Chains A and B, each alone.
Chain A
Amino acid sequence: MIRVYGIGRDMTTDGKRVSLGAIFRVFFMIGATSFGGGLIAWIHRETVTNRKWLTQEQFLSGVALGQVLPGANVTNLAIYVGQVLRGGLGATVAICAVLLAPFFLCIGLAHIYDRVIGVPGFHAAMDGIAATAVGMILRLAYMGASHSCRKAAPAIIALAVFGAIGLLHWPLFPVILVAAPLSVALAWPRGAAHA
């Protein structure tokens, strides 16, 4: 499972090479159908759960990296996944594919917005989709927690980050600047034992 530089690069968890066309198709569909948000959960579903292109840890560390770097979380995650699978080309294909449909769809929606906004229940439908999309994200958080927070230390880190940012609304950057090194230090003995 552990991939070493120079041997298993450009391969998925089961040792297959992912085609650029497959990367394009998956990210295009995610971009085209992600009404109501929840894109991170869609990316996880398609690349980890359904296709096993990445391990759970690879995906989650990509999420954390994407959030501390500038840029939309989704596009950063697309670049990360594309880069892991197929390097620079993979990253380019993934970000272009994930933005292609939204580019045309948001301009298209802007054209007809004045009309659809007046349709009774339109707002309610959109709110409903957004709320249930949060359910997908909750499910992703649960899967991530059950995989990587089985021990006390990571569970406490996850709860502390959630408390500070999700509940107390502390600024993202300082919280991560404290939590990430602490969490990595706590993971160190286990990490070293794998080597």
Chain B
Amino acid sequence: MRDSPYFGLLYVLVPFSLVSVGGGPAIFAPLQHQSVDIWHWVSAREFVDLFAIARTAPGPGAMLTTLIGWKVAGWSGAIVATLALFAPASFMTYAVARVYDRYRGRAWHTALEEGLAPVAVGLILSGAVSVLHLSGDRPLAWAAALGAGAALAFLPKLHPFIILFTGAAIFVAAFFLGLK
């Protein structure tokens, strides 16, 4: 049974699912170690490529595990890896959300909602800054992010696609003009 590729995926990914607090970034380092050094699913180079692909495609960056499963055992590997990574954590979240939601309207629940809101605001802002930090703190990226935020604030009817497309166009132009 240990020889089965599905066993390996489940054996590695189910525990990762349960400790992936904060999402994909929390497990990328140990996942790299397991899939490159221990199980030899992918080479170090392939891992970096798959990471980049998962970031480029829509959806959570944790879809990296889907791609590793796909490398290991094709479509069925992709499905097993996706379920192994997302299902355990999802059941846990569902259980907590269910209990949490049951007490909606109680005084302590209202206090909990009001108290968690500013914590979430701090976390959301941290997430925004960390993405810019990961992309190398380029002044152009900061300018684009702040510009896009302002555009959305002052032109709420504007569809985000238009803003994302404008951002892409500006970066491509900067690339061809040789600007940082």
Give A contacts to B, CB under 8 Å.
2-5, 9, 31-42, 45, 56-58, 60-76, 79-80, 83-84, 87-88, 91, 95, 98-99, 101-103, 105-110, 113, 120-121, 123-142, 144-145, 147-149, 154-155, 157-162, 165-167, 172-173, 176, 179-180, 183-188, 190-192, 194-195
Contacts and interface: CB of A to CB of B under 8 A. Distances in A.
Given A132-B147, A166-B127, A192-B107, 20 more contacts: A39-B59, A70-B93, A73-B22, A73-B60, A102-B63, A103-B66, A103-B78, A108-B57, A109-B56, A128-B144, A131-B148, A135-B151, A138-B148, A140-B124, A154-B114, A184-B116, A187-B112, A188-B115, A191-B108, A192-B108
Contacts of A157: 118-119, 122
B118 A63 contact: no
B164 A102 contact: no
Contact of A132 (B89, B120, B144, B153): B144
A41 B56 CA distance: 17
Given A91-B94, A121-B175, A57 B17 contact: no
Nearest to A55: B113
A131 B145 contact: yes
B63 A106 contact: yes
A89 to B, nearest CB: 11
A154 B124 contact: no
Contact of A125 (B116, B121, B142, B171): B171
Given A75-B89, A132-B144, A5 B104 contact: yes
Interface string B60-90: 1111001100100000001000100010111
Contact of B146 (A33, A101, A103, A135): A135
Contacts of A137: 124, 127-128, 131
B122 A161 contact: yes
Contacts of A166: 122, 125-130
Interface string B143-180: 01111111111000000110110111111101110000
B49 to A, nearest CB: 7
A106 B135 contact: no
B54 interface: yes
A95 B60 CA distance: 12
Nearest to A188: B111
A142 B149 CA distance: 9
A91 B161 CA distance: 27
A107 B89 contact: no
B103 to A, nearest CB: 7
B164 A141 contact: no
Interface residues on B, range: 35 or more
B96 A65 contact: yes
Please name the 6 residue pairs, one residue from A and one from B, whose CB atoms are nearest each other, closest first.
Answer: A102-B59, A135-B148, A161-B122, A191-B111, A128-B171, A132-B167
Nearest to B64: A106
A188 B106 CA distance: 12
B3 interface: no
B42 to A, nearest CB: 11
B32 interface: no
Contacts of B132: 131, 134
Contacts of B44: none
Contact of A99 (B53, B56, B86): B86
Contact of A42 (B56, B107, B108, B160): B160
A132 B144 CA distance: 6
